[in-house]
Amino acid sequence: MKNLEEKVDEILERGILVDFLPTKKEFKEALLSGKRLRFYMGADPTAKALHLGHAQNLMVLEDFRRLGHEVIFLIGDFTGMIGDPSDKSSARIKQTPVQVQENFSLWKEQVRNILDFDAKENPVQIKYNSEWLGKLNFAEVLELASNFTVQQMLERDMFVKRMQEEKPIYLHEFLYPLMQGYDSVVMDVDVELCGTDQIFNALAGRTLMQKLKNKNKFVVSTKMIADEKTGMLMSKSNGTGVFLGMDANGLFGAIMSQTDGMLTPLFLGCTRVTVTEINELMQSEKPRDAKVRLAYEIVKIYHGEVEAQKAQDYFVRTISNKEMPAEVAEVTVAKDEIKLVEFIVLAGLAKSNGEARRKIEQGGVEVSEKKESDWQRMLTKADDGAVVKVGKFSFVKIKF
């Protein structure tokens, strides 16, 4: 059995945690002190699905829960309506309450396999910051604002850049760090876990904790998942990323589509494979084998070993060997004919006719193993039994 210090070192030295405020030494001492710390990580529901970048942080949060610490997964349902300006060259589009509700409704199910909400002892807690932020009156907001200066807010890199580019900075964006900071005060946390893009906001919470509660809070940041060669980030805001709501085949294929520069970051952040084994895999002369192992390990976490093996077999058979899947789901059409774009939406392979049209125009759709370029094509009873392929991994059979 590993002792406490060995377990702590495994977490601290994996290479995921990169910034420790005030210091890494003090943080480690707190972890070894025997005191039960209260950790939290927050996420604003600006998309319906979380991606692997969030999963990395949540897996670290679970690591600390397993050490016996109290952990909170905070849903930013109030801050999500405002929009965090972090790392943005323009103001975020504000979400409506309905959009926010729709977006976070599936989150708990998506992360159930990496955060233990049902543990008999010390389960992960879920909180929503609308419970306290929505109750603040204007006088209380002004009192919070009095703890910061305009000069402090203007130190943020994205604000400096916007001013240089003569782009607007909206007043509500200054208030976002106050709101995130106030989350720490209300929950009385000891540690905030965040991405490196959130350090400014987390430090606002550290300031408020010191001024309002005379208490120090640790800020621990995680390395953002990025291609080691290009620096391209995995980000829901940029419309990129591998999302947790994908089925097993789609998730496996999405990992296999990642660049080689993403392999080590994803292995370290999104699997439980040891650092020693990761290094051995990455030094192999067959990088594709490492990518297959990565895809298998990630799918196993979210869908189980059986589905992971099926997804691997499916990928090898349909993508590597270019064979038709043995089983293809049928989609029944309740009329004599249907537009191809409408059928793709009906099959759940596009969210709208416009998206389906783009997939066709970009060469990503085949009907009966022939690439289809005409987005206006009609499918009729003569196409009964034909297989429509959308992208590299999705197959559906037409049934009239």
pLDDT tens track for 342-351: 888 888 888 7
**With contact defined as beta carbons under 8 Å apart, do 94 and 82 qualify?**
yes
Residue that finishes a domain, picked among 320, 337, 353: 320
Q: Quick one: DSSP state of residue 243?
A: B
| 150 and 285 belong to one structural domain | no
| 217 and 347 belong to one structural domain | no
- pLDDT beyond 90 at 293: yes
Confidence of residue 87 (pLDDT cuts 50, 70, 90): very low
When pLDDT is averaged across residues 280-306 and rounded to a whole number, the result is: 90
Is 229 inside any structural domain? no
- pLDDT beyond 90 at 89: no
**With contact defined as beta carbons under 8 Å apart, do 375 and 340 qualify?**
yes
| 281 and 366 belong to one structural domain | no
Of 162-176, 258-272, 305-319, the range with the highest mean pLDDT is: 258-272
When pLDDT is averaged across residues 308-319 and rounded to a whole number, the result is: 85
| 48 and 104 belong to one structural domain | yes
Q: What percent of the chain has pLDDT over 70?
A: 92
Q: Which two tokens stand for residue 89?
A: 């060259």
More confident call, 232 vs 69: 69
Residue-level pLDDT at 320 = 60
Is 241 inside any structural domain? no
Is 23 inside any structural domain? yes
| 65 and 139 belong to one structural domain | yes
| 267 and 381 belong to one structural domain | no
Confidence of residue 285 (pLDDT cuts 50, 70, 90): low
| 302 and 180 belong to one structural domain | no
pTM above 0.85, yes or no: no
Residue that finishes a domain, picked among 222, 240, 263: 222
Q: How far apart are CA 199 and CA 222, in angstroms?
A: 10
Q: CATH number of the domain at 391, please.
A: 3.10.290.10
Is 238 inside any structural domain? no
- pLDDT beyond 80 at 29: yes
- Report how many domains make up the chain: 3
Is 336 inside any structural domain? yes
Q: Is the backbone peptide bond immediately before 22 cis, with ω within 30 degrees of 0?
A: yes
| Each residue's pLDDT tens digit, 182-237 | 999 999 999 999 998 889 899 999 999 999 999 999 999 999 998 888 888 876 55
Is 239 inside any structural domain? no
Provide the CB-side half-sphere exposure for 143 (13 A, CA).
8
**With contact defined as beta carbons under 8 Å apart, do 53 and 224 qualify?**
yes
Q: CATH number of the domain at 136, please.
A: 3.40.50.620
Q: How far apart are CA 141 and CA 151, in angstroms?
A: 18
Is 227 inside any structural domain? no
Q: CATH number of the domain at 316, please.
A: 1.10.240.10
Which structural domain range is residue 316 located in? 248-320
Q: Residue 291, SS3?
A: helix
When pLDDT is averaged across residues 333-338 and rounded to a whole number, the result is: 85
| 186 and 252 belong to one structural domain | no
Residue that finishes a domain, picked among 278, 293, 320: 320
| 194 and 57 belong to one structural domain | yes
Does the CA dihedral 292-295-300-305 come out positive or negative?
A: negative
Residue-level pLDDT at 63 = 97
Rg over CA atoms, the chain: 24
- pLDDT beyond 60 at 47: yes
| 289 and 217 belong to one structural domain | no
Q: How far apart are CA 367 and CA 390, in angstroms?
A: 9
Burial of 350 (0-12, 13-18, 19+ CB in 10 A): buried
Is 310 inside any structural domain? yes
CA distance readout (Å), 197 to 60, 176, 211, 220, 307: 17, 14, 24, 12, 35
| 338 and 263 belong to one structural domain | no
Among 6-20, 61-75, 362-376, name the one with the lowest average pLDDT: 362-376
Confidence of residue 319 (pLDDT cuts 50, 70, 90): low
| 308 and 343 belong to one structural domain | no
- pLDDT beyond 90 at 94: no
Residue 383, amino acid: D
When pLDDT is averaged across residues 61-83 and rounded to a whole number, the result is: 90
Q: Please, what's the b/e burial string for 26-42 (b: 16 or more CB within 10 A of its CB; e: otherwise)? A: ebbebbeeeeebbbbbb
